[in-house]
Amino acid sequence: MTAKPNYVISDDELENLLTRYTRDITAQERAGRFDPISGRDEEIDHMTLILLQRLRKNVMLLGGAGVGKTALFIGLAQWITQNKVPDMLKGSRIIELEMSMIGAGSQSRADLEGRLMPIIKGVAERNAARKAPPIIFCIDEIHQLMLAFKASSYDGIADLMKPYLTAGDLYVIGATTREEYEDYVTVEPAIDRRFQKIHLGTPDAPMTLNILMNLKANFEKHYKIEISREACAHVVKLTDRYIRNRNNPDKSILALDHACARYVKNGGKTSLDKASLEAAVASEAGIDAEAVK
């Protein structure tokens, strides 16, 4: 019988910390909290390839705001819960480190590190023991943890992870924009070289339409109305034309949600109409509704 590892951070202590200060994305996915993630199979497949590797098994997702970087955290969790990943990753937990949760109520930097370090150590020693599926950290806006990012109260936190990244005991998926990566991560070569990059482009109109078509069933269930393919195509066309300062799929998803809410508020009970879509896009774009057609 194999002896149970004598962990420095006990199971109970680690689970309490994870419950209090992180978000278990795989648990939330099993509870049905998320919409299906579509159109990013190639990127999720690339993530799994990196996570399987022995050495540089950390992922950096790079792309503009709204293109779906953090949606890939959920997409990977969906692949895991659906057993679409290789055996080494089956049963893995996707844990999002939310620094705002970890730092909430802390009185000093020492308090913050006192919460974070047991989480890092507890996860690292379990990953090193390989007695259970890996625990994978996800960190949005990861550039805020770099020493060079002085605007953040969490700057330099990445240095605390460096020894565990070097040893290969942590799996980390970070997300940030290309500009912020260049400004704040590449200036710290010891961190930069431990990540493999995946660049996310902005989805084109057909890809965005496909994403909306995969999401519309949940919108229909929530609002108790019908949403046609034509309505989805219309919102993609309008957001591309009138909302130039934001990216798909985010802008089309939000505009569709806005349009459904507007339609129901105005007494609509059947199929989402063009007028609601056009009014929603006008509102999101900050222009007169008469200008949107």
Identity (one letter) of the amino acid at 2?
A: T
Res 50: pLDDT = 97
DSSP code per residue over 49-99: HHHH-SS---EEEE--TTSSTTHHHHHHHHHHHTT-S-GGGTT-EEEEE-H
Res 290: pLDDT = 84
- Cα distances from 20 to residues 14, 116, 127, 160, 169, in angstroms, run 10, 11, 21, 20, 22
Res 6: pLDDT = 87
Confidence of residue 5 (pLDDT cuts 50, 70, 90): confident
Kindly state the average pLDDT of the residues 156-172. Answer: 92
**Between vectors from CA 74 to CA 68 and to CA 76, what angle results, nearest 5°?**
105
Res 55: pLDDT = 86
pLDDT(260) > 80: yes
Q: Which residues neighbour 3 within 8 Å (Cβ) at sequence distance 6 or greater?
A: none
Q: Report which secondary-structure segment, H or E, holds 144.
A: none
Confidence of residue 161 (pLDDT cuts 50, 70, 90): very high
Is residue 248 within 8 A of residue 208, CB to CB? The reply is yes
What's the pLDDT tens digit per position in 82-115?
Answer: 999 999 999 999 999 988 888 887 878 888 899 9
pLDDT(151) > 60: yes
Is residue 199 within 8 A of residue 94, CB to CB? The reply is no
In the CATH scheme, what is the code of domain 205-291? Answer: 1.10.8.60
Range from 103-107, 161-165, 188-192, 281-285 carrying the lowest mean pLDDT: 103-107
- Taking all residues of the chain, what is their mean pLDDT, rounded to a whole number? 94
Domain locations along the chain: 11-199, 205-291
In this structure, how many other beta carbons lie within 10 angstroms of the beta carbon of residue 43?
Answer: 21
Confidence of residue 2 (pLDDT cuts 50, 70, 90): low
Res 103: pLDDT = 85
Q: Tell me which fold the domain 11-199 belongs to.
A: Rossmann fold (3.40.50)
Pick the closest to residue 211 from 258, 250, 255 (CA basis): 250
- CATH topology match: 11-199 vs 205-291: no
Confidence of residue 3 (pLDDT cuts 50, 70, 90): low
Judged on CB neighbours under 10 Å (0-12, 13-18, 19+), 98 is middle
Kindly state the average pLDDT of the residues 231-242. Answer: 97
Pick the closest to residue 123 from 15, 224, 212 (CA basis): 15
DSSP code per residue over 186-201: TT-HHHHTT-EEEE-P
Distance CA 237, CA 232 (A): 9
Pick the closest to residue 60 from 52, 69, 68, 128 (CA basis): 69
More confident residue, 273 or 5: 273
Distance CA 226, CA 181 (A): 41
